[in-house]
Chains A and B, each alone.
Chain A
Amino acid sequence: MELRFLEVLRYADLLLWGALLSVVLATAAGVAGLLLGILCAEGQRLGHRGLTWAIRAYVEFIRNTPFLVQLFFVFFGLPSLGLRLDALSAALIALVLNIAAYFTEILRAGLEASPAGQAEAGRALGLRRWQIFLLVQLRPALAKVWPALVSQFVLVFLGSAVVSQISVEDLTFQGQFIQSRTFRAFEIYLVITLLYAGLAFALRRALLELGARLFPWQRRGA
């Protein structure tokens, strides 16, 4: 057994671009997923039965099927309905739909934990409805569930490795390309695995730090 890493490192620029795309893709999905998750979590609290049921069905369906199948469905299945998507858009849509379902569950728990008296206090102070929602309900809820959101985001970032299977040129895709050139499969995947671990660690730290800035009243590490 003989390992050769130098051949792999000749392709360092490809790895860098791949890593960048992986991080950007996951981050874009995370931001869009957070917005969609907030909409869904709040939609469930409106008390409209049909809407609540539709959101529950969406959340359960996403949470109980593999992301890879969701990705294939969006990329291969939707065009037959006349919706043509390039690989990158399909990956982004699938990631957003996936992450939003998990965020909905987490955010709902956070929103439910805020006492009704707070919203009433906000109204008594003369705040407008959107002010009450954003400042009195959403912000404390986000603060409470931020660590759970970060964990889920990191899981989705790691799970995004499969978008390489529809030819999105992410970190894993570059790995498969380099492997096809060098036949050094184990070395290249070891390097990529370490890159994923490093990126996951850095993303987690950065986001927890962001949480500490956004919600300074929340005890750190809680």
Chain B
Amino acid sequence: MRQFSDWQILTLLLGAAEATIWLSLVAFLGGGLLGLLLTLARVSERRALDLPAAGIIAAVQSVPLLMLIFLCFFGLPLLGLRVSPWLAACASLVLFAAAFLADIWRSAIQAVPKGQWEAGRALGLSFLQVFGLVVAPQALRLAIPPTVGFSVQVVKGTALTSIIGFVELTRAGTMLNNVTFRPFFVFALVALIYFALCFPLSLASRRLERKLARQ
């Protein structure tokens, strides 16, 4: 048993929180990119694109995130890839975020009246032009509050990557608990740091939602 002062525990945990933040950013941005592709496939009205995208989204949403992480961690090596916990964590969280974001964005796009699409196409714009210039700007307003709200799920989801040995906030908490035997203090701090990361996002999401409702 090693002695750590309260202050040392806090600084070690805050250092580990940096990994949580990085992983969240990668997952959110990567998931956003992949999610955008899935969204485009879903609203393209081409069955060959729509069906596989819908399948991926439904599959990811109906399994535990932990299984997604395990499948990436143990499955990617079967394809001959060398997989570190960091890579498996990124891959699974990107997939997770993409599926949920695509769902959020598709419903925002569907809330834009269909006539907008038709008018754009009638003016001779291509599918991507109508999407980018006409529909997306209108859908964006609706999509932002739930998107910000979902980022909380991403931050919380990163905690599960501790189980495959990726060292982030939760893993650091477990390790510090193992050497200090002060579970109450350590896990309370871990929870508080997560709260400090997530609560502002939740608040922002709710503010934006209220602002939107007033308009």
Query: Which residue numbers of A lie inside 8 Å of B, CB to CB?
Result: 1, 3, 60-61, 63-70, 72-73, 76-81, 158-159, 161-162, 165, 172, 175, 185-186, 189-190, 192-193, 196-197, 200-201
Given the contacts A158-B64, A185-B70, A196-B64, A68 and B162 also touching, CB distance less than 8 Å: yes
Additional A-B contacts beyond A69-B187, A189-B70 (12; CB < 8 A)? A63-B152, A64-B152, A64-B156, A64-B198, A65-B191, A66-B159, A69-B159, A73-B183, A76-B183, A76-B187, A80-B182, A80-B184
Output the least CB separation between B73 and chain A (Å).
8
Q: From known contacts A68-B159, A69-B194, infer whether A77 and B184 are also in contact, taking CB-CB under 8 Å.
A: yes
Return A202 CB to nearest CB of chain B, in Å: 11
A-B contact pairs, 6 of them (CB 8 A): A64-B156, A65-B194, A73-B191, A80-B183, A158-B64, A162-B66
Whether B63 and A196, one on each chain, are in contact in the complex, defined by CB atoms closer than 8 angstroms, is yes
Chain B residues with CB under 8 A of A186? 71, 74-75, 78
Q: Are A1 and B64 in contact (CB under 8 A)?
A: no
Chain B residue with minimal CB distance to A70? B191
Interface size grouping (class) on chain B: 35 or more
A contact residues around B78 at 8 Å (CB): 1, 3, 186
- Per-position 1/0 for B155-188, Cβ under 8 A of A: 0111110110000001001100100001110011
Q: Does B65 touch A at the CB level, under 8 Å?
A: yes
From A1, A69, A80, A81, contact of B191 by CB (8 A)? A69
The answer to whether the Cβ of B67 comes within 8 Å of any Cβ in the partner chain is yes
Q: Which of A72, A162, A185 contacts B74 (CB 8 A)?
A: A185
The binding surface of chain A is classed by DSSP as helix
List the B side residues contacting A64 at CB < 8 Å.
Answer: 152, 156, 194-195, 198-199, 202
Partner-A contacts on B (CB < 8 A): 59, 62-68, 70-71, 74-75, 78-80, 152, 156-160, 162-163, 170, 173-174, 177, 182-184, 187-188, 190-191, 194-195, 198-199, 202
Point out the residues of chain B lying under 8 angstroms from A60, CB to CB. Answer: 199, 202
Residues of B within 8 A of A76 (CB): 177, 183-184, 187
Report the bound CA distance from A221 to B158 in whole Å.
33
Partner of A189, one of B74, B173, B188: B74
Q: Are A189 and B67 in contact (CB under 8 A)?
A: yes
Contact A69 B190 (CB under 8 A): yes
Q: How far is the CA of A61 from the CA of B158 in the complex (A)?
A: 17
B160 pairs with A197, CB closer than 8 A: no
Given contacts A73-B191, A77-B183, contact A68 B63 (CB under 8 A): no
Q: Which of B65, B67, B194 contacts A192 (CB 8 A)?
A: B67
Instruction: Tell me how far the C-beta of B84 lies from the nearest C-beta in chain A, rounded to whole angstroms.
Output: 16
A76 to B170, CA, bound (A): 13
Cβ–Cβ contact B74 & A65, under 8 A: no
Q: Shortest Cβ distance from B144 into chain A, in angstroms?
A: 19
Please determine whether A189 and B71 come into contact, CB atoms closer than 8 angstroms. yes
Whole-angstrom CA separation of A197 from B62 in the bound complex: 5
Choose among B62, B64, B75 the residue that contacts A159 (Cβ–Cβ < 8 A).
Answer: B64
Indicate if the CB atoms of B163 and A165 lie closer than 8 Å.
yes
With contacts A64-B202, A162-B66, A162-B163 taken as known, whether A72 is within 8 angstroms of B156 at the C-beta atoms is: no
The residue on B at minimum CB distance from A79 is: B183
Contact of A172 among B64, B80, B195 (CB under 8 A): B64
Q: Which of A77, A165, A172 contacts B188 (CB 8 A)?
A: A77
Which residues of chain B are near A192, meaning CB under 8 Å?
A: 67
